[in-house]
Structure 1
Amino acid sequence: MDEGRRQMGWNADTKALPYVFRIYEDEKSCGDKIRDCDVLILGWTGQDKDSPSERLIRQRLDQGKPVIRVSERIYREGRWKAISPRGLKAKFEEHIKYRNSPVYMLCAGAYVSGDFKLIGAYPGKLFKWGYFPPLKRYSEDELSNMLYKDGEKLRICFAARLIKLKHPELSLEVAGYLKKKNIDFHLDIVGDGPLSSGLKEMIKDKALEEYVTMHGAVPPEKVRGIMEKSHLFIFASNYLEGWGAVVNEAMNSACAVVASSEAGAVPYLIKDGENGLTFDDCDKDKLLGKIDELLEEADKKNGSYMVRADYVRSLQKKAYLAIADTWNAGVAAKRLLEFSECIIKNKDFKNPDDGPLSKALVLKAPGIRRTLKEDNHLE
Structure 2
Amino acid sequence: MVVTFVSNYINHHQIPFCKEMAEYGPDVEFHFIQTMPMEQKRIDMGWAVDPGSYSFVSVYYEDKKTCEDLILNSDVTIFGWSEGLVKELEEKRLSSGKLSFRVSERIYREGQWKMISPKGLINKYKEHIRYRKKPVYLLCAGAYVASDFKLIGSYPGKMLKWGYFPVGASEVKTERKVGYPIKICWAGRLIDLKHPEFAVNLAEKLKGLGYDFRMDIIGDGELKKDLERSITEKGIEDKVTLTGGKKPEEVLDYMKAADIFIFTSNYLEGWGAVVNEAMSCGCAVVASNEAGAVPFLIEDGVNGYTYSNGDYFDFSNKVLLLFEDRDKILEFGEKAAETIGKLWNPKHAAAELIRFCRGYKDGKEPAFSAKGPMSAARIIKPAGFLRTMQEKNRLE
Cα distance in 2 for residues equivalent to 1:311 and 1:360: 29
Is it true that 1:143 corresponds to 2:174 in the alignment? yes
Identify if the C-alpha distance between structure 1 residues 138 and 97 changes in structure 2 by more than 3 Å, giving closer, same or farther: closer
Asked if residue 259 in structure 1 is aligned to residue 287 in structure 2, the reply is yes
| Correspondence for 1:241 | 269
Partner of 1:84: 117
Query: 1:339, CA displacement in angstroms?
Result: 0.9
SS at match of 1:239: coil
Q: Secondary structure of 1:234's partner?
A: strand
Q: Shift of residue 138 of structure 1?
A: 6.2
Residue type matched to 2:106 in 1?
A: R
Q: Are 2:80 and 1:43 aligned?
A: yes
> Residue 369 of structure 1: CA displacement?
5.6
The 1:109–1:24 alpha-carbon spacing in structure 2 relative to 1, beyond 3 Å, is: same
Residues 1:22 and 1:6: Cα distance change in structure 2 (over 3 Å): closer
Partner of 1:358: 375
Identity %: 47
> Conserved in 1, the CA contact under 8 Å of 2:103 and 2:139?
yes
Distance 1:81 1:39, change over 3 A: same
Distance 1:186 1:370, change over 3 A: closer
Give SS of 1:355's match.
coil
| In structure 1, distance between residues paired with 2:153 and 2:294 | 25
Corresponding residue for 1:376?
none
Which residue number in structure 2 is paired with residue 128 of structure 1? 161
Q: Contact 2:271–2:291 at 8 Å: present in 1 too?
A: yes
CA shift, 1:367, in A, is 6.2
- In the TM superposition, what is the alpha-carbon distance from 1:86 to its structure 2 partner? 1.0
TM-score (norm 1): 0.88
1:221 to partner: Cα distance:
1.7
More deviation, 359-368/172-181: 359-368
Matched positions, count: 352
Q: Report the CA distance between 1:176 and its aligned residue.
A: 1.4
Shift of 1:65: 1.5
What root-mean-square deviation, in Å, do the aligned CA atoms of Structure 1 and Structure 2 show? Answer: 2.0
Could you report, residue by residue, the CA deviation over 1:235-288 in whole angstroms, capped at 9, with x for unpaired residues? 000111110101111111111110011111111111100111111111211112
1:322 to 339, 358, 372: 339
Distance 2:128 2:340 in 1: 31
**Structure having the higher Rg:** 1
Aligned 8 A contact 1:147 1:317 in 2: no
Give the TM-score taking structure 2 as reference length: 0.84
Partner residue, 1:375? none
In structure 2, relative to structure 1, the CA distance for the partners of 1:231 and 1:368 (3 Å cut) is farther
The change in CA–CA distance for 1:56 and 1:137 in structure 2 (over 3 A counts) is closer
Instruction: Find the counterpart in structure 2 of residue 104 from structure 1.
Output: 137
How far 1:8 moved relative to its partner? Answer: 3.8
Extract unaligned runs of 5+ from structure 2.
1-37, 390-396
Residue 355 (structure 2) aligns with: 338
Matches within 5 A, 1:168-207: 168-207=196-235
Q: Distance in 1 between matches of 2:188 and 2:91?
A: 38
Q: 1:371 to 1:187 in 2, by over 3 A?
A: closer
Which residue of structure 1 aligns with residue 258 of structure 2? 230
> Structure 1 residue 178: deviation in Å?
1.2
Deviation at 1:137, TM superposition (A): 3.6
Q: Which residue of 1 aligns with 2:98?
A: 65
Q: 1:334-360: CA deviations, max 9, x gaps?
A: 001011112222312433332101110
| Aligned counterpart for 1:27 among listed residues 64, 72, 82 | 64
Give the conservation status (yes or no) of the 8 Å contact 1:332–1:356.
yes
Given that 1:239 and 1:367 are in contact with CA atoms closer than 8 Å, whether structure 2 keeps it comes out as no
